[in-house]
Chain A
Amino acid sequence: MNAMPPRNTPGSAYNFAYLDEATKRMIRRAILKALAIPGHQIPFGAREMPLPYGWGTGGIQVTAAILGPRDVLKVIDQGADDTTNAVSIRAFFAKVAGIATTTRTAEATIIQTRHRIPERPLTEGQVMVFQVPMPEPLFRLEPRLAETRRLHALGDYSLAQVKLYEDIAKQGEAGTSYNHPVMVAGRYLMSPSPIPGFDNPKLHNSPAIMLFGAGREKKIYAVPPYTAVESLDFDDHPFRPMRAPHACSACGSTTSYLDEIVADDQGGRIYVCSDTDHCRENQTP
């Protein structure tokens, strides 16, 4: 061998987008396998990030591994671009990668998200990066990781269906809650991350690439574009995406997902779009 070190060793270049090149390669390898096995969770050697867990360290590492100098990044928390979390992550990438950021869904090439998928239909040029707190859809039923791996390997989701059926029977309706599990390409049961059931249909046959990063649990998974994603449901309890039956008080939308806001000290409530960019677009003639 040559006396010079090979190129692909840690620490040989400055850290564009914070991560060193060896870490990016490891995450990139995981992303390619995740796309090849839709919905399957892939362990990765997550790095400590300069933000606490709960701030989306898994999503941040995925974004850092895919981000290029011409990308335009949007970050949303709930549906909003202006929360502390979203602003901090945008500022972080503007600083460590010098990339452009935006609040407009239409202009973004990468959208990192917690809790929502934008209302505006996504396009083929876009990648969604989800910050995932708990990647394992079976975790409430089966705490042993080795056993959940076995169930995924067998595609045996009878346990999940029984549990979900009990939940639905109690609540009365499928689709009202967050993190409603989905079947991806008819094979893997997947946690869609804590998005409302309202957003689940946006995962189905989307033109965009969907990547999921769980920092604390150290897992990456993916849904390729144009892939079947079906919310788990039952013949007598079909899945129906739910929204509050009101119009947005800011833009008048009757189709967008709404946040309920207590408007006065009499307990009066108003409803506004959770997706702030969508609401802004609706108000612009």
Chain B
Amino acid sequence: MKPGFSDPVFGAQSGFAALMNAMARPGRIQDCNALHEPPPGLDPAAAAALLTLADAETPLWTDAEGEARDWIAFHTGAPLVEDVARAQFLLATRAMPALASVDLGTDETPQDSATLIVQVATLDDASGWRLTGPGIQHEHRLTVTGLPADFAVQWARNRTHFPRGVDVVLCAGTRLAGLPRTTRITEDR
């Protein structure tokens, strides 16, 4: 079994710093290289995000299999669930579950919604989508390869449920970017 953070305390702190900045500044790409040896199939950033946030209190869904699945169960202690609607954290390494299929919270407890971590092929913040909303002064740009073709449509629907809604963390290699539910995505036509 591959190890977790070489230093659990500072590894989690630096993983959290990347996640907090990602959620506070949507689309702004953060370096997250606290985990040096992720198991096969997991990106360092995605694995670090799970180690930072998930534990026995947080039901977790993932499509990761084999060694990666065992690694997640062992190092986080999170109960793995089959039903995406019951998960507090989801890690998609291949096909992402539909945004509407996860727990969106309730109007009184919107914080109970799931956080979806998606491993994507690439992230680039020089061009692409135009992001606006809280955390963004004018606009941020983001190009993501490896998401479903209709992601922006699903995202627009997610925004209509506010304050309910899922929050997304996009991970590629040692980099990650956040899409909190408040972010508006505009596609250039």
Contact = CB atoms under 8 A, between A and B. Distances in A.
Interface size bracket, A side: 35 or more
A16 interface: yes
A29 interface: yes
A88 interface: no
Given A8-B56, A32-B115, A226-B136, A66 B17 contact: yes
Interface string A168-194: 000000000000000001011000000
Interface stretch (B38-46, B72-80, B95-103, B120-128): B72-80
Interface in A5-28: 5-9, 12-14, 16, 21-22, 24-26, 28
Contacts of A65: 16
Given A2-B74, A31-B20, A224-B24, A36 B13 contact: no
Nearest to B169: A32
Given A8-B77, A35-B135, A40 B182 contact: no
A68 interface: yes
Interface stretch (B61-69, B105-113, B144-152): B105-113
Nearest to A2: B74
B134 A25 contact: no
A267 interface: no
A31 B106 CA distance: 18
A40 B163 contact: yes
B73 A1 contact: yes
A66 B111 contact: no
A60 B115 CA distance: 26
A143 B141 CA distance: 44
Given A38-B182, A40-B111, A225-B25, A67 B13 contact: yes
Nearest to A222: B24
A209 B23 CA distance: 10
Contacts of A188: 163
A202 interface: no
Contacts of B142: none
Highest count of chain B CB atoms <10 Å: which of A9, A29, A65, A205: A29
A243 interface: no
9 contacts: A2-B74, A7-B4, A12-B8, A26-B57, A29-B53, A36-B167, A36-B180, A68-B14, A187-B162
